[in-house]
Amino acid sequence: MPANQKLVLITGVSRGLGRAMVEEFIRLGHTGLGCGRSQKEISSLEKQFGAPHDFAVVDVSADKPVAAWAKRILKSHGAPDLLLNNAGLINRNARLWEIGAQEFSDVVDVNLKGTANVIRHFVPGMVKGKRGVIVNFSSGWGRSTAAEVAPYCATKWAIEGLTQALALELPPGMAAVPLNPGIINTDMLRSCFGGSASSYPTPQEWAKIAVPFLLKLGASDNGRPLTVPIRGAND
Ligand SMILES: NC(=O)c1ccc[n+]([C@@H]2O[C@H](COP(=O)([O-])OP(=O)(O)OC[C@H]3O[C@@H](n4cnc5c(N)ncnc54)[C@H](OP(=O)(O)O)[C@@H]3O)[C@@H](O)[C@H]2O)c1
């Protein structure tokens, strides 16, 4: 692979930001690897983009399938240059005491434990080569709070802490950053913002700014909480 082409691994590529990012990375000549739970959407990505791109049905909240996926990808492609922990879930809008134990667990299992599962199985390969950037998707709500999304806020604040600690553990040459992507009109935003979500950029508009921003990240960014420079991202 030419030196300026990157191997980019993204969780949650079936829709939303993950889908838009993988399409934009591939359009720019990079290799896209990704997972999601929807068989239909993973098959559609496989049809759209053949080898060397690679898509798999993997639920990041389950450690064993993540381990098997990582083993296969590390063998066939090597360690990623850019690892984007993007897969995420938000609770339905409700006060904390109205949210059942299962729904609370689901949000933690995907947003926090899912990110740790992917790090557990992909990062040793990156550390071996002493290169690569890990981006853990946080949120404006990983640095501020709002009513009715307490479980989601808790996981994104945790992602900020987990990523800062990981940054202290990586060898020189690597980086881990928590990333606030801004506010983008996806299924997730429609769930918490309702109709007003439509006044925000589409994932495709966002990816045109986010992907070049992500491609520029390097060792000097290690441990820096970053925000994609789109309109309203710091509101
Ligand atoms: N949109 C925003 O304004 C915004 C703002 C701040 C932060 N974020 C963060 O940005 C990331 C992407 O959000 P989005 O707006 O694109 O959300 P989205 O439209 O709801 O898409 C979420 C993606 O994650 C995948 N996913 C969910 N659970 C998964 C699991 N257990 N295993 C594997 N994949 C899973 C989904 O695919 P399947 O259902 O097929 O698994 C889907 O591809 C999230 O981490 C979110 O918290 C978004």
Our answer on whether the CB atom of 143 is closer than 6 Å to any ligand 1 atom is no
Query: Residue 101, exposed/middle/buried by CB under 10 A (0-12, 13-18, 19+)?
Result: exposed
Give the Å distance between the CA of 111 and the centre of ligand 1: 9
> DSSP assignment of 64-96, as one string?
HHHHHHHHHHHHHT-S-SEEEE-----PPS--G
Catalytic residue numbers? 152
Atom of ligand 1 nearest to the CA of 38: 40
Q: pLDDT tens digit string along 149-171?
A: 999 999 999 999 999 999 999 99
Phi, psi of 33 (to 5 degrees): -125, 140
pLDDT of 235? 55
Spatial strand order of the sheet with 226-227 comes to 54-57, 31-36, 7-11, 82-85, 132-137, 174-180, 226-227
- Residue with the smallest CA separation from ligand 1 atom 8 is 139
Our answer on whether the CB atom of 36 is closer than 6 Å to any ligand 1 atom is yes
pLDDT of 19? 98
Buried b (16+ CB within 10 A) or exposed e, 74-93: beebebbbbbbbbbbbbbeb
Q: How many CB atoms lie within 10 A of CB 68?
A: 14
Whether 209 contacts 228, CB under 8 Å:
yes
Our answer on whether the CB atom of 125 is closer than 6 Å to any ligand 1 atom is no
- Residue with the smallest CA separation from ligand 1 atom 39 is 37
pLDDT of 234? 60
Our answer on whether the CB atom of 115 is closer than 6 Å to any ligand 1 atom is no
Give the Å distance between the CA of 110 and the centre of ligand 1: 9
pLDDT band, very low/low/confident/very high, at 231 (cuts 50, 70, 90): confident
| Mean pLDDT on 17-31 | 98
